[in-house]
Amino acid sequence: MEKKNEYNTQIQVNKLMKKLRIWKDLFSVNINFYVEGWAAYLMEKTIYPRLIVIFRPYDCNHFSIKSFEVSYDAKANEIHSEIYSRDLIYGFQNLFIELKEIIYGKDIISSISTELYDKKNINEKR
């Protein structure tokens, strides 16, 4: 079944793309369609290499969003390290609120806080 060509899917993708235009100078955007849903990939164009992935399953009424730090190995292959994840985001308004917070650093701050907490716990166990 070609769910990517369904009217509702195209409306959702178009709505997301329209909203993402405000960040066109910060991110390049690609949309991919899969068997279980569709995903928007936002690759940051600035100094901090970051990838934000928004996923929407066809059979559910929610989004998930993940943020990855992008690095490269010796052969110039991309390596993605997850720094933030949130599931069960209902509605475009909540998605855009979450996305805006991530774009402005929520994911990075959360990642740094987790690393500092983990280091503190390691040092206390010694």
Work out the angle at residue 105's Cα, subtended by the Cα atoms of residues 92 and 26, and round it to the nearest 5 degrees.
Answer: 75
Query: pLDDT: is 123 or 88 the higher one?
Result: 88
pLDDT at 123: 53
Cα distance between residue 93 and residue 115, in whole Å: 30
Contacts of 99 (CB under 8 A, 6+ apart): 52, 54, 65
pLDDT at 55: 95
Query: pLDDT: is 3 or 11 the higher one?
Result: 11
pTM: 0.76
At 69-118, the pLDDT tens digits run 888 888 888 888 888 888 999 999 999 998 888 887 765 555 555 554 45
Cα distance between residue 113 and residue 115, in whole Å: 5
Work out whether strand 27-33 and strand 78-89 pair parallel, antiparallel, or are unpaired: unpaired
- Closest to 71 measured CA to CA, from 61, 63, 82: 82
The residue type at 28: S
State yes or no: pLDDT of 4 exceeds 80. Answer: no
At 12-32, the pLDDT tens digits run 999 999 988 888 888 889 999
Name beta bridge partners: 78: 72
Name beta bridge partners: 84: 67
pLDDT at 1: 43
pLDDT at 117: 47
Residue located via tokens 């991309």:
78
Residue located via tokens 């806080």:
113
Backbone phi and psi for residue 47, each to the nearest 5 degrees, phi listed first: -65, -45
At 28-75, the pLDDT tens digits run 899 999 989 999 999 988 777 889 999 999 988 899 999 998 888 888
